[in-house]
Structure 1
Amino acid sequence: MAVFLYSLLFVVFSTTLFFFLRSSRCRRLRLPPGNLGLPFIGETLQLISAYKTENPEPFIDERVNRFGPIFTTHVFGEPTVFSADPETNRFILQNEGKLFECSYPASISNLLGRHSLLLMKGGLHKRMHSLTMSFANSSIIKDHLLVDIDRLIRLNLDSWSGRVFLMEEAKKITFELTVKQLMSFDPGEWTESLRKEYVLVIEGFFTVALPLFSGTYRRAIKARTKVAEALSLIVRQRRKGSEAGERKNDMLEALLAGDDGFSDEQIVDFLLALLVAGYETTSTIMTLAVKFLTETPLALAQLKEEHDQIRARKSETAALEWSDYKSMPFTQCVVYETLRVANIISGIFRRAMTDINIKGYTIPKGWKVFASFRAVHLDHDHFKDARTFNPWRWQSNSGATSTGNVFTPFGGGPRLCPGYELARVILSVFLHQLVTQFSWVPAEDDKLVFFPTTRTQKRYPINVQRRNVTKLCKD
C-alpha cells in the first residue's frame, strides 16, 4: 500500500513539475494571444459545440475578433496555435518536414492506422504520395478512369425516382468509384457492406480516443477492425494471384509489385485511409454543389444550358469523353466555388519540430498548429461577399484577391491532396448526368453541420423528376 501511495505521489509531483516548467518556459516566449481554457479539456468542448451550429466558422470567428488571425487555444488535449492568416498557412505548408511535421488527434491516427498516407513522413511519404498521384493524374483519368466514372455514376442514377437522400447516394457513388480505382471491384453486396462499416469509422473522428468514455469511438474501433479484416482477406488473395502471374491495373497491384516489400498490414492501412479520403470528401462536395446550385437558380440555369449543349452533340447513351469534360468552363467555376464555400478540408494539423518565430510570435517546440483554410476562404478581405455562393467570381477572379495564395481547397506543399484532379472530374461528370437527366426540388429544409466533417443534417433529401433525354438530344 505504501509503495502505491509513494508511486502515486511521485506521478502527481512529476506531472505538476512538468506543467510548471513548461508554463514557465512559455511565459518567457511571446506566444500568440489566446486562452488555454480549462485544465486538460482546454476549449475542446467549445470547438465541438461551435461547429454544430449553422455558422461555418464560429470558433475561429470569435477568437479572430478578440485576438487576431493567429491565436492560442487548447484542443484535443494539447496547446494549439490556430492560424487564419494565409501567409502563415503558406509558411506551414511549405515547411513540411523542415519546421513542422504531420500530427493529428489520436482518434484519427488510431482509426486510419500508422501506415496511412496521412501519417507517413519523410522519404516513404514522398514515394507513396507520388504513387497515389500517378493513379489519379489527368492522363490516367483521360485514358482509363473517365469511362468507369461515367458508367458508375449513370448506373447509380438509373435507380433514382421520387425522394432521394442525395448525400447518401453521393457517398455510394464515391465509395464505389474509389473501390474500383483501388481494387478493381464493381458495385455489389461486398462493397455496400464495407461502406456501412466506413460510416461508423468516420463518425469516430474527433472524438475522445478512449473507448471507455466514448461509445462513438468504441463503435468506430470495432468497425475499423471489420474493415481491416475484409481488406486483409482481399490483399492475401491478390498477393497469391500476383505471385501466380495474375495482374490488374489498380493501386493494390502497384503496392504488391513495388520494390518496398510492403506487408499486408501496411497495405491495408494505406488502402483504408485512401478509401476514407475518396469516400467522405468528394461525396460531400457533390452534395453541397447541388444544395448551393438549388439555392442559386441563375447558376443552376447556366449550368444546365452548358450541359444541355454537350448532351445535344451526343447520342442518348454515348459516354462522356475527355473533350466534353474540357468544354465545361462554367462547371469549373461551380466546382471552385463549391470547394471554397464548402471547405471539405477545413485545415491541417501540424506539430512544431523546433521553436518557430513567425509574425512576431513564437510557436514552442512540440506545440500543435492548425492552419485553417476555411477561415481564409470565408474572409471578406480575400473574397468579396465571402459567405455567398457566387461561381461567377471565378470567371474573371473579380471576387478574389491573389487567389493563388488564399485558395487552398486541397492543401499544398508536399502533402497536396493527390486526388485533387480526380475529385474535380467526378464532380463535373456527376453534375452533367444530374442536370441532363433530372429536375429536382428540396424535399425539406436541411441545415449544414461542420463537425466532425462538413455534412447536411438530414442527408439533403430531394424530390427528383426525370427529364426527357431523347427530346434534349434532338433539340
Structure 2
Amino acid sequence: MAGLVYDLLLYIPISLVIFFFIVRTSRRRRLRLPPGNLGLPFVGETLQLIAAYKTENPEPFIDERVNKFGPIFTTHVFGEPTVFSADPETNRFIVQNEGKLFECSYPGSISNLLGKHSLLLMKGSLHKRMHSLTMSFANSSIIRDHLLVDIDRLVRLNMDSWTDRIFLMEEAKKITFELTVKQLMSFDPGEWSESLRKEYVLVIEGFFSLPLPLFSTTYRRAIKARTKVAEALSLIVRQRRKESNESGGEKKNDMLEALLATGDGGFSDEEIVDFLLALLVAGYETTSTIMTLAVKFLTETPLALAQLKEEHEEIRAKKMMGREGLEWSDYKSMPFTQCVVNETLRVANIISGVFRRAMTDIDIKGYTIPKGWKVFASFRAVHLDHDHFKDARTFNPWRWQSNSGATSPGNVFTPFGGGPRLCPGYELARVELSVFLHHLITRFSWVPAEEDKLVFFPTTRTQKRYPIIVQRRN
C-alpha cells in the first residue's frame, strides 16, 4: 500500500508537467505564437533574466534568443507569458497603439507605491489630459523663459559644496530632486526637501521587491516611507489650496498651481498627491543616472571629453566677466554636447523598454499575441543592435554629428519611449544634463576614486555610486 501511495505521489506531478507542456504546445500552434521557450512551469525564464541583468553585460539574454528565434520571441517572466520585441517596427506599433490594442501594465509593487492616480497608471482621456498638462510645463519655451534660471542656479549651488572625494551619483540625485521639487511646488533646497528625498530613496527601493509586507522588509519599509511622503505632500497641497482660495493670494507658476486651478470640479488632494509623487520619482531617478553615466563614459573616452571641454570653455570665454549663469543662447550653442547627450541616452538605456498588455488577440509580423499576454518593447535591444548603429556597444558621440551619416529614423532611437506615453520631460532632461556638464567641465577636473562598474538590476546604476576625486579649477 505504501508503495502504491509513493507511486501516485510521483506520478501526479509528472503527469501535471506533461499535461502542461502538451496544452502549451497545442495552444502555441493554434495561435501562431512567436517562437521561443516558456521555460519551466510557473517560473518560466525569470531566473535567467534576473541573472543576466545582475552582470555587467545583460545583452546575452536577448542576443541568444534573437539569434535562435528572431527579433520577436516568446518567453515567460515575472509570472506571465511575455512576447519580447527587439524589432523597431514592432516596438513602434506597440507604443503607438497604446489605449487601442495595448494598455500599460506594471508590477503590483510599483502600482501600489506610486498610487492609482499617478500619470504612469492613468488611462484613456484622463491620461491624455494630464500628459498634455505635464508637457505644457516642460516645453522649450517654458524652459527658456522660466526654468533655465533655476536649473542653472541649483546646479551651481550644489557644486559649491564639492570638495575632494564625492559620490557623483548621490550628488546628481540631490540636484535632480531639488530641481523637480522647485518645478513642481516652488520649493528651494532646505531641510524639508532633503528629508523628503531620503524617504523617496526608500520608496524607490521597494519598486522591484515582492509586494507582500509580511515577507519583504524592503517593501514594508517602502510602504512606510510612501505614507510619510504622501503626508508631507498632502500638507503642502492643503496649504496651497487654502492660499489659492483666498482673494488676492499670490499665484505661483508651477505644476501644483496648475493642478489646483483645473476646472470641471478639479482634482482631489489624493489625486494631486499621487500625481506629484510619481513626477518626483520620474525626475529624480532617471535624470540623475544619466548625469552620472555621461561623466563615466566621457572619463573613459578622453578624446570626447577634450572636445566637450573645448566647446564649453568657448562658451564661458564669450560671457561677460562675473556672469556664470547660462542663458538659452548658450544652451543652443552646444552641438557636440547634444551628441554626447544622445550617445549617453543610447548606450545607457535607463529605460530599457516598456511592458504593455494585449487588450485583444493581435496579429503582427505573421504571429498572434493572445489577449491578456504581456509584451515587452525592448528599446535597449534596438539601441545596441549593430544593424542599426555601427559598433553599437561602443560610446561614440561623433556618430550623431550631422556629417557622419548616422542619423537614424525615430523608431530606432527611442530613449524617451513614444506614442501617447512619450516621456513629457524629455526636453527638460536634455537641458538639465547639458547645464550640469557645462558647470562640471568649466569648474572642475576629476579622476575616478576607484574602479566602478555598471549594474542593471533592479535599476541601471553604478555599483559604487561612482566615487570621484574633484579638484576645483581657477
**Shorter-chain TM-score range:** over 0.9
Instruction: Say whether residues 1:384 and 2:390 are aligned partners.
Output: yes
Instruction: Say whether residues 1:285 and 2:287 are aligned partners.
Output: no
167 and 217 in structure 1: CA distance in 2 versus 1, 3 angstrom threshold: same
Aligned to 1:331: 337
Aligned to 1:187: 189
- Farther off after superposition, 60-69 or 371-380: 60-69
Note the alpha carbon deviations across 1:248-278, whole angstroms, 9 max, x for none: 1100111111014211111111001000000
- Farther off after superposition, 142-151 or 37-46: 37-46
Note the alpha carbon deviations across 1:89-115, whole angstroms, 9 max, x for none: 011011111111111111111111111
24 and 230 in structure 1: CA distance in 2 versus 1, 3 angstrom threshold: farther
Question: 1:20 deviation in Å?
Answer: 9.3
Question: 1:61 deviation in Å?
Answer: 2.0
* AA in 2 matched with 1:286: M
What SS does structure 1 have at the residue aligned with 2:343?
Answer: helix
Aligned to 1:415: 421
Q: Tell me how far apart the structure 2 counterparts of residues 26 and 291 of structure 1 sit (CA, whole Å).
A: 45
What SS does structure 2 have at the residue aligned with 1:254?
Answer: helix
Question: 1:56 deviation in Å?
Answer: 4.1
* AA in 1 matched with 2:282: A
Identity percentage of aligned residues: 89
Q: Tell me how far apart the structure 1 counterparts of residues 229 and 413 of structure 2 sit (CA, whole Å).
A: 35
TM-score of the superposition, structure 1-length normalised?
A: 0.92
What SS does structure 1 have at the residue aligned with 2:147?
Answer: helix
Q: Tell me how far apart the structure 1 counterparts of residues 85 and 406 of structure 2 sit (CA, whole Å).
A: 20
Contact 1:32–1:362 (CA<8 Å) still a contact in 2?
A: yes
RMSD of equivalent CA atoms:
1.9
- The structure 2 residue matched to 1:353, chosen from 356, 359, 364, is 359
- The structure 1 residue matched to 2:56, chosen from 47, 54, 57, is 54
What SS does structure 2 have at the residue aligned with 1:117?
Answer: coil
Q: Tell me how far apart the structure 2 counterparts of residues 343 and 134 of structure 1 sit (CA, whole Å).
A: 25
Question: 1:289 deviation in Å?
Answer: 0.3
* AA in 2 matched with 1:312: A
Instruction: Say whether residues 1:302 and 2:304 are aligned partners.
Output: no
Runs of 5+ consecutive residues of structure 2 not aligned to the other structure: 1-15
Q: Tell me how far apart the structure 1 counterparts of residues 182 and 368 of structure 2 sit (CA, whole Å).
A: 46
* AA in 1 matched with 2:359: M
Contact 1:382–1:401 (CA<8 Å) still a contact in 2?
A: no
Aligned to 1:251: 255
Contact 2:400–2:407 (CA<8 Å) still a contact in 1?
A: no
399 and 226 in structure 1: CA distance in 2 versus 1, 3 angstrom threshold: farther
Question: 1:449 deviation in Å?
Answer: 0.7
Instruction: Say whether residues 1:433 and 2:433 are aligned partners.
Output: no
- The number of residues matched between the two structures is 454
Question: 1:21 deviation in Å?
Answer: 7.7
Q: Tell me how far apart the structure 2 counterparts of residues 36 and 24 of structure 1 sit (CA, whole Å).
A: 13
Question: 1:447 deviation in Å?
Answer: 0.5
Contact 1:99–1:356 (CA<8 Å) still a contact in 2?
A: yes
58 and 218 in structure 1: CA distance in 2 versus 1, 3 angstrom threshold: farther
Q: Tell me how far apart the structure 2 counterparts of residues 118 and 26 of structure 1 sit (CA, whole Å).
A: 32
Question: 1:23 deviation in Å?
Answer: 7.5
Q: Tell me how far apart the structure 2 counterparts of residues 26 and 213 of structure 1 sit (CA, whole Å).
A: 35
Contact 2:20–2:41 (CA<8 Å) still a contact in 1?
A: no
Runs of 5+ consecutive residues of structure 1 not aligned to the other structure: 1-14, 469-475
Note the alpha carbon deviations across 1:346-405, whole angstroms, 9 max, x for none: 101111011011111110000010100011000011000000000000003747463422
Aligned to 1:449: 455
Superposed, which structure 2 residues align to 1:157-172 within 5 Å? 157-172=159-174
Q: Tell me how far apart the structure 1 counterparts of residues 284 and 31 of structure 2 sit (CA, whole Å).
A: 42
Question: 1:33 deviation in Å?
Answer: 1.5
Q: Tell me how far apart the structure 2 counterparts of residues 36 and 177 of structure 1 sit (CA, whole Å).
A: 44
Contact 1:383–1:401 (CA<8 Å) still a contact in 2?
A: no
Aligned to 2:375: 369
Question: 1:45 deviation in Å?
Answer: 2.2
- Farther off after superposition, 378-387 or 393-402: 393-402
Note the alpha carbon deviations across 1:213-272, whole angstroms, 9 max, x for none: 322222222211111111111111111111114321100111111014211111111001
Instruction: Say whether residues 1:270 and 2:259 are aligned partners.
Output: no
Q: Tell me how far apart the structure 1 counterparts of residues 403 and 183 of structure 2 sit (CA, whole Å).
A: 34
Question: 1:150 deviation in Å?
Answer: 0.2
- Farther off after superposition, 18-27 or 79-88: 18-27
Aligned to 2:150: 148
Aligned to 2:111: 109
What SS does structure 1 have at the residue aligned with 2:93?
Answer: helix
Question: 1:211 deviation in Å?
Answer: 2.1
Superposed, which structure 2 residues align to 1:78-89 within 5 Å? 78-89=80-91
* AA in 1 matched with 2:317: A
Contact 2:360–2:370 (CA<8 Å) still a contact in 1?
A: yes
What SS does structure 2 have at the residue aligned with 1:371?
Answer: strand
Aligned to 2:6: none
Question: 1:58 deviation in Å?
Answer: 3.3
Q: Tell me how far apart the structure 1 counterparts of residues 322 and 45 of structure 2 sit (CA, whole Å).
A: 55
Note the alpha carbon deviations across 1:304-347, whole angstroms, 9 max, x for none: 00000100111234311000000000000000000000011110
Contact 2:287–2:429 (CA<8 Å) still a contact in 1?
A: yes
Q: Tell me how far apart the structure 2 counterparts of residues 400 and 223 of structure 1 sit (CA, whole Å).
A: 45
Aligned to 1:3: none
* AA in 1 matched with 2:425: G
228 and 24 in structure 1: CA distance in 2 versus 1, 3 angstrom threshold: farther
230 and 79 in structure 1: CA distance in 2 versus 1, 3 angstrom threshold: same
207 and 399 in structure 1: CA distance in 2 versus 1, 3 angstrom threshold: farther
- The structure 1 residue matched to 2:236, chosen from 219, 229, 234, is 234
TM-score of the superposition, structure 2-length normalised?
A: 0.92
Aligned to 1:467: 473
- Farther off after superposition, 137-146 or 201-210: 201-210
Question: 1:25 deviation in Å?
Answer: 4.2
Aligned to 2:12: none
Q: Tell me how far apart the structure 2 counterparts of residues 89 and 297 of structure 1 sit (CA, whole Å).
A: 35
What SS does structure 2 have at the residue aligned with 1:144?
Answer: helix
Contact 2:35–2:74 (CA<8 Å) still a contact in 1?
A: yes
- The structure 2 residue matched to 1:212, chosen from 186, 189, 214, is 214
Q: Tell me how far apart the structure 2 counterparts of residues 23 and 168 of structure 1 sit (CA, whole Å).
A: 49
Aligned to 2:141: 139
* AA in 2 matched with 1:404: G
132 and 256 in structure 1: CA distance in 2 versus 1, 3 angstrom threshold: same
What SS does structure 1 have at the residue aligned with 2:411?
Answer: helix
